[in-house]
Structure formats: structure tokens, C-alpha cells
Amino acid sequence: MRVLIAGAGIAGLTTALSLHAAGIEAQLVDSASELKPLGVGINLLPHAVRELTELGLGAQLAAAGIATSEQAHFDRHGSLIWSEPRGRSLGYAWPQYSIHRGELQMILLAAVRDRLGERAVKTSTTVTGFTERGGSVEVMLSSRRNARVVPVTADVLIGADGLYSAVRAQLHPDEPPPRWSGVMLWRGAAEGAPFLSGSSLAIVGSTTTVKFVAYPIAARPSADQHSGRALINWVAEVMIGGAEPPIRPDWNREGRLAEALPYFQGWTFDWLDVPGLMTRTREILQYPMVDRDPLPGWGRGRVTLAGDAAHPMYPIGSNGGSQAIIDARVLARALATAATPADGLAAYEAERLTAVNQIVLANRNMPVDQVLDLVSARAPDGFDRVEDVLAPDELAALRDAYRATSLQDVAALNARPPGMHVPPATGSVAAMDEKSRGSVRVEQGAKRVRAYLAGRLVADTKRPFLVWEIPYYPAYYLPLADVAAALEPTGKTEHSPSRGEAEILDVRVEGAAAAGAAKRYRDSPLTALRDLVRIDWGAMDEWLEEDEPVYTHPRDPYKRVDILASSRHVRVEIDGVAVADSVRPHILYETGLPPRYYLPLPDVRTELLIPSDTTSHCPYKGTAGYWSVDTGRGVHPDLVWIYRTPLPESQKVAGLACFYNEKVDLYVDGELQPRPRSPFS
């Protein structure tokens, strides 16, 4: 399948990377003559950071952006109304990043060129129209270089061509121009001393009059190695009203300080000098805040839309780029798993359209803005105690409404099985059989799998199915025809809301039996399960994947373990007592879990460790032994583990000690890490 993507913005580039990961060929075209790091800051919410991390870009984002730790709201006099944690501090397993939009685009562009080839992005090339022709779509490309228009044929066309999408215009010819909010935005970024926590996103003022948003998007050690300054992004929002925007929305339009500055005279707080920040800014951009009314449908046949082309929204909810990134994963997966391209695009639209349309509408009346507006109306001259202005339950209701509209549920995002981004790399995409119902995912595996009981073969299959009954790892379901053991009904059944009624079976081989160790879902609503048997992992003596034994549970094809030697400074404190200090950790990155810092024993105060009988087993690392820690102020059971003889692929952590990040104070390079939420919290 060959997909043509119009537009190499965040949506187009991420879509190309996701398609590539799904084994689908993509070509991008962009009307710009050169892709440059334009724009100013944007925020990537944890749900988008997760997608990019699963595309292998986590480290680059971490290096380029600032992990936002809180969002704080102030009245026009700089007094705090409320604040709340963000990203990892809110419990997400992924950070929220404040990042320069152009730098993010360059990270994506470099990854596209690296993975898809130098010619994957064709610049100076504009999509001007398309015609569907039975089994393909003919796309008209106009070249700026030679002023020629040439048709090219693709299997699918994705319009990721932004607010003024040509693809959208052809699909929806009667649409009015973008809808104007009445608000003018001036934006910029300038170096400055870090403010508040150093990673805070601050929102000040009121939407009905004047509002200012500021957040750091990059550390700036370059000017002075030790100054600790930051590049601070700011957005000045002024309600000027009127029926039409006075200027055409263009992300690159230059703005004038003299027009914006007067609105912010006197906005000098003890934590931020707003006029000073604006005045220090070399290049100011001006953008009238517009969006478009949500569409009842995006595309048809082999053509669809993504990113701003599909759902332009006000750039205030930190969600435009983030939602574009989610589009990419859903679109790639839908195309990779559907019977036809048109089915794939229809499935993509069915999953995304309503959800993202709701965000577009919610952004027009952000609950956080309502907090600001209420306070500004009730206490225009400021307040001493915020409780005198806003009742705690009023605030709680608005905060919950905000979280519901803008953020994904923390537990749901963290619990989603890792790797949903990328369909299996093994086997042909067309042959892949995957179904989801509720929280259960079913997918054909590619490995030969064997199970043994008392040395006798129970099953031997080259067609295993992986079923994610729980989010963390899959279970094997094996074709009935490949089960060698006798399966004897016990007369018992067990009900699962998603898989239906299971018949419980004994597994019998010569000389041994495992009581109730098999389940068969004959009439499962998941039709793929009906001719499969689930054999209890723990009831068997041995499982082999190909010819290698596997322990604990099947290996998840979407899990990856990387172990990297590092010179980061890692310090572990428990009850305020330093328990380990090392500048030579090995960091173990395992999909879906926080990074783990494995430390050499000489760097750990082993005199505080008490051996425990606890062991745990991991199919990727092997068997770990545990130690408790006695700090003198308390005993903390099973806080440290060591793999003395790990599996071959995890040799690098052999004999190193690791602490639960979730339960200790972990400092990396002097910075206290937020305690992550994980299944081990």
C-alpha cells in the first residue's frame, strides 16, 4: 500500500512514522520550499508523549523540551488562584513536555528521513486536488520549482495540510472560512530566569479581557554555562472582538510589540515580569485565534484528513499537536489491520471523529478559563484569600471538568497495553488477525509455541494467539487442533464479560493431569477465540517459544528492554537517609514501566540491606532476589532487587542493585524524580 500525505507538519510527519512502523509505505509532500523550525512553544500532553515514546523518540523529546510539572492559575494581579500537578507529577507514566514547535517538527522530520529515506519528504510541492479512480486515488501535485502540475497515483491520500487544507476544501466545498473567537494572540519566546517551580505553566488574567500564558520550553545553558536560564515561551491573549479577524490567520505572521505591550502595563509580579519578558523578545508572532466547526465526517473512500486539517482547534488547550499525534497511531493501525484501505479509513474516522470533535468544542469554553473569568468578575481589584472569591467545591467542579475535557484518564492511559502504537512487525499485515472488544485484544502470534506437562507434549502450534486479558502481558490461546493432550470436561464453567462463557477442562497426558487447566470459549463474542484453548501457564511444567524456554508468562511482542550504561548521577534516599550514590548506573528501559537505575553494589550501603526470601520472575530478565532496607528509622520490605544470573539479553544488569523508583526518593543529576505510578506503586 502506498500512502500520500499532504503536509509535513506534526500530523503528517507522525503519520508517516506510524505508517512506517506498521509496514506501510508513505510519501510526504509539503508546499513549503524548506521545512524550518518555525513557530514558538507548544505543549505535548502525556497521551501524545506516550505515542512518540513508543515511536522511539522519547529521549529526543526529553532533551529538547521541559517536562512540565504544574499548571498554575493567577489573577491579573499575579495572585495564585489554584495550581495542580501535570505530567508525571499527576501520576502519568509519561511526562507532559513544553517544547518548541519547530524543534519538535525537526525531530520528527529527521526520524522520517532516517527511517523512510531522504526522499520521503518532497518540499515545494502542493496538493491541489484529487480524483478517486476505482482502486486508487489520483492526486494533483503542483511544483513551485517548475510551475508544473503532475498527477500521481496513490492507494490512499491523507490531507494533513493544516488549517487551510486543500484536501478538506475539496471534500467539503461549502465550508465557511475559519471561525474567529474575537481573541488576538501575540506570541514569542525569550530567555529569562526560571520562574515558580522552573517547570510551571502559568496562566494569568481573564479571557474576557487580557490573558497571559508563560512556560519554559528549553533550558538555555549555552549563553552562560551556569546561569541556569530558560527559554520562556509566552502567549498574550487579548479580546478585541469584532465579526471578522482583522488579519488572516497565518502562524508565521510577524506581530508588533508596540501593539501588544500596552495591555500588560503593570503586570510585574514578584514571580514574573511580563512586560520585561515581552520586551526582551526578538521576534513576535501574531495570530487571530480561530478554529472551524467540527465536521460530521472527514473523508470518503480512499481519502481522509488528519491533524489541523481534520479538527483545527484553539491553540489554548495544549491539544492541537497532541491530538494530531494520536490521529497518526489510530490511522496507521486502522489501515494496517483493515481488509481494504477504505475500511481502514472508515475505522479511523469512527474511532477519532466524535472524540476529537468534542475537544474542539470544549476548547471554545475551557473550564480553566471559566475559573479565571469568575475570579476576575468577583474580585477585579484582587483578593487576599482565594476562598473568599471561589468556593472550594466550585473550583473542584471546574478542575474536574477541565481534566475531563483536556486530559486522558491517568489510570486508563497508564494501563493501556504498551505497544498499541505499532501492529506486529512479523507476518504480512494483510494476514494479521486482530480484534478488540472492551479491554481484550486478540492477535495472531508468529512464534512456534509448545507446552509440556510431566515431560509430555501438551500442545505444539505455529499459530498461537495472544490475548491481552489484562493490560500488562498477553496469555496464549492455542488452536484446538494443535493440542495433543486430552481435554476432559469438568462440568464447570466460568464467565468473562468480554470473552463469554468458558468450559473448564482438565488437561491429561500419559501419567499426569492438570485439573481445570484449560478453558474453551465455544460461543465467545470474540469469534477468533471459539476454536482456541487457553492453557493455564502455571499449570504446565515447561513452555517453549521456538526452541527456547520462557518463564512467567508469554513474551509480549510489543515490549522491549534496553539496558544502557550511563554516567548519570543517581542518589537514592529513604527516610532522608542516603542509601546509594552512583555515577555509573545501568539504566533499564522497559516499555510501559519507569526507567530503572541498576547500581553497582559498592555504590550501595549494603550494610542497610536485609536479605528477604522474596523472588520474582520476569520473562525478559529472569529471576530476581530481594532485600529489605533498614534505615535505622524503619524497615522497608523488599525495596531492592538484584538479578544475579539474568537471562542472556539482560546480562548487563547482572549483580546490580535496583530500587523501586515508586517507593524511594530518587535523585537523578541532582533532581528529585517524581514517584511514578506503576503496577508496583
Ligand X SMILES: Cc1cc2nc3c(=O)[nH]c(=O)nc-3n(C[C@H](O)[C@H](O)[C@H](O)COP(=O)(O)OP(=O)(O)OC[C@H]3O[C@@H](n4cnc5c(N)ncnc54)[C@H](O)[C@@H]3O)c2cc1C
Where does this chain bind ligand X (CB under 6 A)? 6-12, 29-32, 38-40, 42, 101, 126-127, 160-163, 166, 187, 251-252, 307-309, 315, 320-321, 324
Shortest approach of ligand X to residue 673 CB, angstroms?
A: 28
- For 74, the grid coordinates are 493567577
Shortest approach of ligand X to residue 666 CB, angstroms?
A: 33
CB 62 within 8 A of CB 45: no
Those residues whose C-beta lies under 8 Å from the C-beta of residue 176, and which sit 6 or more positions away, are none
C-beta of 12 vs 344, nearer to ligand X: 12
- For 35, the grid coordinates are 521545512
C-beta of 252 vs 614, nearer to ligand X: 252
C-beta of 308 vs 603, nearer to ligand X: 308
C-beta of 294 vs 445, nearer to ligand X: 294
C-beta of 162 vs 424, nearer to ligand X: 162
Torsion of CA 318, 163, 338, 421, to 10 degrees: -30
Q: Where are the alpha helices (DSSP H) in 407-489?
A: 410-415
C-beta of 39 vs 646, nearer to ligand X: 39
CB 45 within 8 A of CB 21: no
- For 653, the grid coordinates are 544488569
DSSP string of 257-302, one letter each residue: HHHHGGGGTT-B-SS-BHHHHHHT-S--EEEEEEE-PPPS---BTT
Shortest approach of ligand X to residue 232 CB, angstroms?
A: 14
Shortest approach of ligand X to residue 323 CB, angstroms?
A: 8
C-beta of 200 vs 319, nearer to ligand X: 319
Which whole-number Å values give the CA distances from 480 to 430, 531, 614, in the listed order? 24, 6, 37
How wide is the angle at C-alpha 284 spanned by C-alphas 280 and 290, nearest 5°?
A: 140
Q: Which of 234, 225, 220 is nearest to 64 (CA)?
A: 220
Which whole-number Å values give the CA distances from 109 to 115, 423, 595, in the listed order? 10, 22, 26
Shortest approach of ligand X to residue 259 CB, angstroms?
A: 18
C-beta of 251 vs 269, nearer to ligand X: 251
Shortest approach of ligand X to residue 305 CB, angstroms?
A: 9
Shortest approach of ligand X to residue 321 CB, angstroms?
A: 3
Laid out side by side, the sheet with 665-668 consists of 577-582, 570-574, 665-668, 671-672
C-beta of 294 vs 315, nearer to ligand X: 315
C-beta of 199 vs 286, nearer to ligand X: 286
Shortest approach of ligand X to residue 549 CB, angstroms?
A: 47
Shortest approach of ligand X to residue 504 CB, angstroms?
A: 51
Which CB contacts under 8 angstroms, 24+ apart, belong to 102-105? 102/36, 102/37, 102/38, 102/39, 103/37, 103/64, 103/65, 103/218, 104/10, 104/42, 104/44, 104/61, 104/64, 104/65, 104/321, 105/8, 105/9, 105/10, 105/13, 105/35, 105/37, 105/38, 105/39
CB 436 within 8 A of CB 349: no
C-beta of 58 vs 162, nearer to ligand X: 162
Q: At what angle do helices 46-54 and 320-337 cross, to 10 degrees?
A: 40
CB 516 within 8 A of CB 507: no
- For residue 604, the SS3 value is strand
Query: What is the DSSP pairing of strand 2-6 with strand 25-29?
Result: parallel
**Residue 112: exposed, middle, or buried by beta-carbon count in 10 A (0-12, 13-18, 19+)?**
buried
Shortest approach of ligand X to residue 248 CB, angstroms?
A: 14
C-beta of 285 vs 485, nearer to ligand X: 285
Shortest approach of ligand X to residue 348 CB, angstroms?
A: 15
Shortest approach of ligand X to residue 457 CB, angstroms?
A: 53
- For 541, the grid coordinates are 511444567
Shortest approach of ligand X to residue 42 CB, angstroms?
A: 4
- For residue 381, the SS3 value is coil
Q: At what angle do helices 10-21 and 320-337 cross, to 10 degrees?
A: 30
C-beta of 30 vs 191, nearer to ligand X: 30
DSSP string of 148-209, one letter each residue: -EEEEEESEEEE---TT-HHHHHHSTTPPSPEEEEEEEEEEEEEE---TTTTEEEEEE-TTS
Centroid of chain to Cα 190: 28
Phi-psi region of 491 (alpha: psi -120 to 50; beta: other; left: phi over 0): left
Shortest approach of ligand X to residue 36 CB, angstroms?
A: 8
C-beta of 231 vs 666, nearer to ligand X: 231
**Mapped to the 3 state alphabet, what secondary structure does 42-66 carry?**
EEECHHHHHHHHHCCCHHHHHHHCE
Shortest approach of ligand X to residue 162 CB, angstroms?
A: 3
**Alpha-carbon span 69 to 195, nearest angstrom:** 12
Shortest approach of ligand X to residue 208 CB, angstroms?
A: 22
Map grid coordinates 524550518 to a residue: 36
C-beta of 252 vs 426, nearer to ligand X: 252
C-beta of 160 vs 629, nearer to ligand X: 160
Beta strands in 297-431 (DSSP E): 303-305
